[in-house]
Structure 1
Amino acid sequence: MSDLPRKAVTRTAKLAALPLGFAGRATWGLGKRIGGKSAEIVGRELQQRTAEQLFKVLGELKGGAMKFGQALSVFESALPEEIAGPYRAALTKLQEAAPPMPTRTVHAVLAERLGEDWRDLFLEFDDKPAAAASIGQVHRAVWSDGREVAVKVQYPGAGEALLSDLNQLSRFARLLGPLIPGMDIKPLIAELRDRVSEELDYALEAQAQQTHADEFADDPDVVVPQVVHQSDQILVTEWMDGTPLSEVIADGTEEQRDRAGQLLARFLFSGPTRTGLLHADPHPGNFRLLFDEKAGYRLGVLDFGTVDRLPDGLPPTIGRSLRMTLEGEADAVYDMLREEGFVKESVDLEPQAVLDYLLPIIEPMAVDEYTFTRAWMRKHAARLADVRSPAYQLGRYLNLPPAYLLIHRVTVSTIGVLCQLGATVRMRDELEEWLPGFVEETEPEAAEETETAEESELAEDGGAAV
C-alpha cells in the first residue's frame, strides 16, 4: 500500500480483519496441533503471524491505526514474555518506519502549502522519506540558508483517517483483547481520540516545539531542534542526527541505556516546570541519543504534536502524595487522594490498604537508584490485573480524575520505555529537583527561627573565641 487509504469502508474492513484474522489463525493452529505439532511450536508460530498482521495493517493504514500501534509499543514490557516476545519486533517497527507516501503526493502537498516555487526554499530536498509516522512523514533537506532540516509533511486526509480509525478501533476494543492480552484498550483509544485536533495542528506543534527549543537551548543534557518554518500541513525544523532510542533498546551498551534512561526521566519531570508543557508522546521513535566528545551523551527530543498544557507545572499533589506514601503516612495520603477525587466520596477504603496498593508501584522512588526491568513491569501489571489479588479488588474503587489522565499515561509510558531500556536510574534525584511537593517545604517562620538560632550560636562561638 503506497498511499493513505481514505475511504472509511476500506479502512474499517482492514481493521475488522485484525480480530477476524486472529480467529482464523487460531483455527489454523488447532489443525497444526491435530497434525502432530507441539503446542509450544504452534503457539509461537501463531503469535508471530499475528504480530506480522498487526504491523502490516496498522503500518499501512497510518492514521489512528498506526498511532494506536505506537501507543501499544511502549506497553509491551507489561505483557507476559511468551506474548510480548513475538510482538516486540513488529511493534518496535512502528516507532521508526511505515510504508511511505508516493513522491507525487508529497510534491503536491508541498506545492499547495508552500507555493508552486517551493523548491526555491531548499538547496536540496530528498524525495525518499527519512521517517514515517502516524499522520505524516519526514524528509531530509537543506534549507535555503544552508541548514540541514527535517520537513514533516502531513498525509492528505489524515484528520478523517485518524477519527475514523479510532472510532472503529473503539468498537472493536473487546475483539482486540486476544491480540494484546491483559491490556485495557478502550480508555487508551478514547484518550488518543480526544487529542486528534491537536495532533493535526502543526501551528500548535511548532509553538510547543519552539518553546522547548528556547528553554533547552543551552542545556547540557537535552537537545530540541529549532523550528525553521511552519504552514498548514508542513513543519520544517532543524535536522537532528543520533541513535534512535529503539536501537539503544535493541543493541545499546549498558552506559548508553543508563544515560538514556536518566535523561528521559529528567526530561519527563523537568519539562513541565521549565516550559509549562508536558511532552505527551513518549514512545522511543521520538527520542535520539546524541554523542560528542565534549558533551558526552545527550537526549534529543522530537515530535511535539501532543502536549499537556500545565502552566503551573506538574500538580504538587503528585509530589506530596508520593513523599507521604514513602514516609508511610497512610491517613494523610488517603485524605489527599479523596480530596483530589482519586477516591470517590461514595467509597470508603482502608487507608493502610491504599498505601499497600501504592508502595510496590513507587518502589523505584524509594531508593537512590533503581534498575528498571521488563520482569518488574510484568510483575506489577499481573498484580493489578489478577482478579484474585487484593490490588485488583482495591483498584476497582479508585478513580483517575480527568486532569491527571494524560499525566498518568505519559508517566506509565515513560516507565515502560525505561523497562525496555533496562536502565539504572537515579529517579529520586529527578523528583527532588523537579517534582513540586516531593521535597517537604520549610515553613517561612520555622526557617527564620532556625536562622536566628544559628546566628546566636555563631555569636556565642565568636565571644568564646575572643
Structure 2
Amino acid sequence: MSDLPRKAVVRTAKLAALPLGFAGRTALGLGKRIGGRSAEIIASELQQRTAEQLFATLGQLKGGAMKFGQALSVFESALPEEIAGPYRAALTKLQEAAPPMPTSTVHSVLAERLGEDWRKLFEEFEDKPSAAASIGQVHRAVWHDGRAVAVKVQYPGAGKALLSDLTQLSRFARLLGPLIPGMDIKPLISELRDRVSEELDYALEAEAQQAHAEEFADDPDVLVPAVVHQGDQVLVTEWMDGVPLSEVIANGTEEQRNRAGQLLARFLFSGPARTGLLHADPHPGNFRLLTGHAPDGPAQEWRLGVLDFGTVDRLPDGLPPTIGTSLRMALAGEADAVYRHLCEEGFVKESIALEPDAVLDYLLPIIEPAQVEEFTFTRAWMRHQATRIGDPRSPAHQLGKQLNLPPSYLLIHRVTLSTIGVLCQLGATVRLRDELAAWMPGFVAEETAAPEAVGDLCEESTA
C-alpha cells in the first residue's frame, strides 16, 4: 500500500485545515496588534507561518498538492527577502523531494506493469528512490544492456489524488494570493487541472522526451536523456548526472549561474522552434548543469540537462509570431501599432478601450530584459515587477486587470513567467536579445516583408 494518502476524505481533511490555520493566525495577529505590536511585523510573521504550513502540507500529500507547490515555488523570488528567506528551503525542497513510496509498493507496480519477471530487464535496481516528486518517483538502475537508466514509477492512485487536490485548492485560492504578490493563483490551479490527463500518460511523455532527445542529440548546449522503455505508469530513460539547478541557485559560482541562465533561456525559445513542443514544467528540479565533452577532446562549457516532459505545449509552428512582433514594436516605442496588434490577437477585448501609450508604459518594465544586450535578473527586480502589477493602487494593476489572456497563450505565459522566476533565483546575467533574435518568430523584422496593413480594430475605442 502506498504512503500516498489515497482516500479523498484524508486528503481533503489535510487541505481543508490550511484555510482554518490561516484564519486562526489572522485572529491571533489581530490580538497582537491590540497588544501593541506593529502591523508590519505581525504581517511578516503571519505570512511566514502560513507559507511554512502550506508547503509542509503540500510536500506530505504529493499528488496535485505537490504539483501546485512546485509550480508556486519558482515565484519565490517575488517575495520580500525578509519573508522569503526563512522558508526558502521549504520551497526548494518541493522541487526535488517528497516522502517516497514503500519498496513493496514499487515492486508491486513494476511487477504489474513490466511483468512478474521485471528484474530480468535490469542488471541492477536501487530500491531507494533518487528523487520523488508530485505523481511519481525515480529509481536509479542498470538496464540489461549495461546502460545506466532512470526508472520513473507512477504513484498508485495519483490521478484521483491530483484532481481531488486541485479541486480542493481552488476553493480557497483567494487565501493563497498574498503569498505571491501580483499573481492570481486560481488560473494557475485551473491550468494545472487541465493538464492532469496528459501528465499521467507516460506514453505522451515518452513521445515528447524522445522528440527532444533526437533533436538535441548533437547539441553542444543542451542534453535530453533518450527513452529506453515505456510502459503503463513506468518510464525508463537514460540516466543523467549533473548538478541540480537548485544547488546552482544555492551555491553555484557566478560562471555557473550565468551559463545556466543563458542555456535555460536558449532552451525555452529554441525548443518550440526545433521540436514543435514547449517544455512546460520549468522548475529547478527538472534541470541539471553538466560538463560537456567533445567526442575526442577536452571538457567544454557547462551544458544544460533537461528532465521531465510530462507537461508540454504542442506548438507545431513554433511560438506564435504575435509574441515576437509585439515585443519588437514595444521596444521600438510604437504604441499605436502594439495596441492594434494586441487587439487583433484578443489581448484586448472589443468592449474595452485603453490608451495605447498607457499599454506601452505597462509593458516596457516587463520587457526590460530584451531592451539591452545583456540583463542581470535579480530577486529585487522580480519583486519590483510583482509589486508594481500587484498593488491595487498602482496604474499598472488597474490596466492589467483590463487585459485579456487568450486561452492559447495561457501555458506559454505561465512557462515564460516561471522561467523568469528561475532566472531571478539564479541571479543570472543573460543575453536575452540574442536568444529572441535567433528563435522568436517576428522579433526580427523581415526587410522584404510588405508594410503591415493598418487594421480598423480598436480604431473607434482610441478615437
Alpha-carbon distance in structure 1 between the residues aligned to 2:192 and 2:450: 47
With 52-61 and 364-373 compared, the bigger mean Cα shift is at 52-61
Counterpart of 1:424 (choices 421, 425, 429) is 429
Q: Counterpart of 2:134 in structure 1: which amino acid? A: S
Identify the residue that residue 54 of structure 1 maps to in structure 2: 54
Identify the residue that residue 242 of structure 2 maps to in structure 1: 242
Number of equivalent positions = 446
Q: Counterpart of 1:111 in structure 2: which amino acid? A: A
Contact 1:286–1:301 (Cα < 8 Å) also in 2: yes
Alpha-carbon distance in structure 2 between the residues aligned to 1:36 and 1:326: 50
1:360 matches 2:365: yes
Alpha-carbon distance in structure 1 between the residues aligned to 2:181 and 2:405: 22
Alpha-carbon distance in structure 2 between the residues aligned to 1:320 and 1:261: 24
Once the 2 structures are TM-superposed, how far is the Cα of residue 82 of structure 1 from its aligned partner?
Answer: 2.9
Contact 2:273–2:318 (Cα < 8 Å) also in 1: yes
Alpha-carbon distance in structure 2 between the residues aligned to 1:53 and 1:175: 13
Query: In structure 2, the residue corresponding to 1:94 is in which secondary structure?
Result: helix
| TM-score normalised per structure 1 | 0.91
Cα-to-partner distance string for 1:264-316 (whole Å, 9 max, x where unaligned): 00000000000000000000000000024522200000000000000000011
Once the 2 structures are TM-superposed, how far is the Cα of residue 346 of structure 1 from its aligned partner?
Answer: 1.1
Q: Counterpart of 2:426 in structure 1: which amino acid? A: L
Q: Counterpart of 2:318 in structure 1: which amino acid? A: G
Q: Counterpart of 1:311 in structure 2: which amino acid? A: P
Contact 1:51–1:86 (Cα < 8 Å) also in 2: no
Alpha-carbon distance in structure 2 between the residues aligned to 1:128 and 1:37: 48
Alpha-carbon distance in structure 2 between the residues aligned to 1:112 and 1:401: 42
Q: Counterpart of 1:114 in structure 2: which amino acid? A: L
Q: Map 1:451-466 onto structure 2 (within 5 A).
A: none
CA shift in 2, pair 1:263/1:88, >3 Å: same
Alpha-carbon distance in structure 2 between the residues aligned to 1:151 and 1:383: 44
With 422-431 and 36-45 compared, the bigger mean Cα shift is at 36-45
Identify the residue that residue 226 of structure 2 maps to in structure 1: 226
Which of the two has higher C-alpha Rg? 1
Query: In structure 2, the residue corresponding to 1:308 is in which secondary structure?
Result: strand
Identify the residue that residue 163 of structure 1 maps to in structure 2: 163
Identify the residue that residue 376 of structure 1 maps to in structure 2: 381
Alpha-carbon distance in structure 2 between the residues aligned to 1:383 and 1:37: 28
Query: In structure 2, the residue corresponding to 1:174 is in which secondary structure?
Result: helix
Once the 2 structures are TM-superposed, how far is the Cα of residue 56 of structure 1 from its aligned partner?
Answer: 2.2
Query: In structure 2, the residue corresponding to 1:241 is in which secondary structure?
Result: coil
Alpha-carbon distance in structure 1 between the residues aligned to 2:322 and 2:177: 34
Alpha-carbon distance in structure 2 between the residues aligned to 1:435 and 1:38: 49
Once the 2 structures are TM-superposed, how far is the Cα of residue 43 of structure 1 from its aligned partner?
Answer: 6.2
Alpha-carbon distance in structure 1 between the residues aligned to 2:86 and 2:410: 30
1:346 matches 2:354: no
| TM-score normalised per structure 2 | 0.92
Once the 2 structures are TM-superposed, how far is the Cα of residue 180 of structure 1 from its aligned partner?
Answer: 4.6
Q: Counterpart of 1:382 in structure 2: which amino acid? A: T
Once the 2 structures are TM-superposed, how far is the Cα of residue 49 of structure 1 from its aligned partner?
Answer: 3.9
Cα-to-partner distance string for 1:69-124 (whole Å, 9 max, x where unaligned): 00000111122223322332111100000000011110000000000000000000
1:401 matches 2:406: yes
CA shift in 2, pair 1:333/1:183, >3 Å: closer
Alpha-carbon distance in structure 2 between the residues aligned to 1:37 and 1:349: 43
Q: Map 1:105-184 onto structure 2 (within 5 A).
A: 105-180=105-180, 182-184=182-184
CA shift in 2, pair 1:336/1:47, >3 Å: closer
Contact 1:22–1:179 (Cα < 8 Å) also in 2: no
Once the 2 structures are TM-superposed, how far is the Cα of residue 443 of structure 1 from its aligned partner?
Answer: 1.1
Contact 1:47–1:87 (Cα < 8 Å) also in 2: no
Identify the residue that residue 199 of structure 1 maps to in structure 2: 199
Contact 1:18–1:176 (Cα < 8 Å) also in 2: no
Contact 1:19–1:179 (Cα < 8 Å) also in 2: no
Contact 1:77–1:419 (Cα < 8 Å) also in 2: yes
Query: In structure 2, the residue corresponding to 1:296 is in which secondary structure?
Result: strand
Once the 2 structures are TM-superposed, how far is the Cα of residue 432 of structure 1 from its aligned partner?
Answer: 0.5
Alpha-carbon distance in structure 1 between the residues aligned to 2:419 and 2:327: 17
CA shift in 2, pair 1:182/1:399, >3 Å: closer
Q: Counterpart of 2:304 in structure 1: which amino acid? A: L
Once the 2 structures are TM-superposed, how far is the Cα of residue 387 of structure 1 from its aligned partner?
Answer: 1.5
Alpha-carbon distance in structure 2 between the residues aligned to 1:395 and 1:182: 10
Identify the residue that residue 411 of structure 1 maps to in structure 2: 416
Alpha-carbon distance in structure 2 between the residues aligned to 1:304 and 1:285: 12
Runs of 5+ consecutive residues of structure 1 not aligned to the other structure: 447-466
Query: In structure 2, the residue corresponding to 1:142 is in which secondary structure?
Result: strand
Q: Counterpart of 1:154 in structure 2: which amino acid? A: Q
Q: Counterpart of 1:206 in structure 2: which amino acid? A: A
Once the 2 structures are TM-superposed, how far is the Cα of residue 187 of structure 1 from its aligned partner?
Answer: 0.6
Sequence identity, in percent? 83
Query: In structure 1, the residue corresponding to 2:299 is in which secondary structure?
Result: coil
Query: In structure 1, the residue corresponding to 2:175 is in which secondary structure?
Result: coil
Contact 2:376–2:428 (Cα < 8 Å) also in 1: yes
Identify the residue that residue 251 of structure 1 maps to in structure 2: 251
CA shift in 2, pair 1:111/1:255, >3 Å: same
Once the 2 structures are TM-superposed, how far is the Cα of residue 184 of structure 1 from its aligned partner?
Answer: 1.4
Alpha-carbon distance in structure 1 between the residues aligned to 2:153 and 2:71: 21
Alpha-carbon distance in structure 2 between the residues aligned to 1:240 and 1:251: 20
Q: Counterpart of 2:375 in structure 1: which amino acid? A: Y
Alpha-carbon distance in structure 1 between the residues aligned to 2:178 and 2:385: 20
Query: In structure 2, the residue corresponding to 1:317 is in which secondary structure?
Result: helix
Query: In structure 2, the residue corresponding to 1:120 is in which secondary structure?
Result: helix
Alpha-carbon distance in structure 1 between the residues aligned to 2:364 and 2:40: 36
Once the 2 structures are TM-superposed, how far is the Cα of residue 21 of structure 1 from its aligned partner?
Answer: 1.8
Q: Counterpart of 2:379 in structure 1: which amino acid? A: R
Query: In structure 1, the residue corresponding to 2:174 is in which secondary structure?
Result: coil
Identify the residue that residue 212 of structure 2 maps to in structure 1: 212
Counterpart of 2:439 (choices 434, 440, 458) is 434
Q: Counterpart of 2:413 in structure 1: which amino acid? A: H
Once the 2 structures are TM-superposed, how far is the Cα of residue 42 of structure 1 from its aligned partner?
Answer: 6.6
Q: Counterpart of 1:425 in structure 2: which amino acid? A: V
Q: Map 1:274-289 onto structure 2 (within 5 A).
A: 274-289=274-289
1:313 matches 2:321: no
Once the 2 structures are TM-superposed, how far is the Cα of residue 33 of structure 1 from its aligned partner?
Answer: 7.8
